[in-house]
Amino acid sequence: MMIAVARVRLFAPWVHSLKEKRMEVKSLTSRVHNRFSVSIAEVEDQDLHQSIVLGVACVAGGRAQADSILDHVIDFIERNTEAEITDIQREIR
């Protein structure tokens, strides 16, 4: 059994309030969770309105499967938001 985690930092220049940010984060996290059955949440910078940091975690049978799940989640995030991914940190144990 492998546990995979990723920290994905996004920059959303069009967001001008925390309310707008919450709407974007809630929408994106709901879609990712429903599609991939992974745990996902905003983990940092909750008070900065243009910075979104998401934490993603999943459990898989092997390293290759865990890596593939993270690849698919990150690709989905990239395709389903206007925010720009500025940093990705991944770890598989």
CA distance 65 to 62: 5
As its CATH architecture, domain 2-92 has: 2-Layer Sandwich (3.30)
Other beta carbons within 10 Å of 83:
23
Q: For residue range 28-40, list pLDDT tens digits in order.
A: 999 999 999 999 9
Q: For residue range 59-75, list pLDDT tens digits in order.
A: 999 999 999 999 999 99
* Residue 10: pLDDT over 90: yes
Q: How do the residues of the chain divide into helix, strand and coil, expressed in percent and rounded to 5?
A: 40, 40, 25
Domain ranges of the chain: 2-92
State the first-to-last Cα distance of the chain, in angstroms, to the nearest integer.
9
Q: DSSP secondary-structure letter at 82?
A: S
Structure tokens at 77: 């995030």
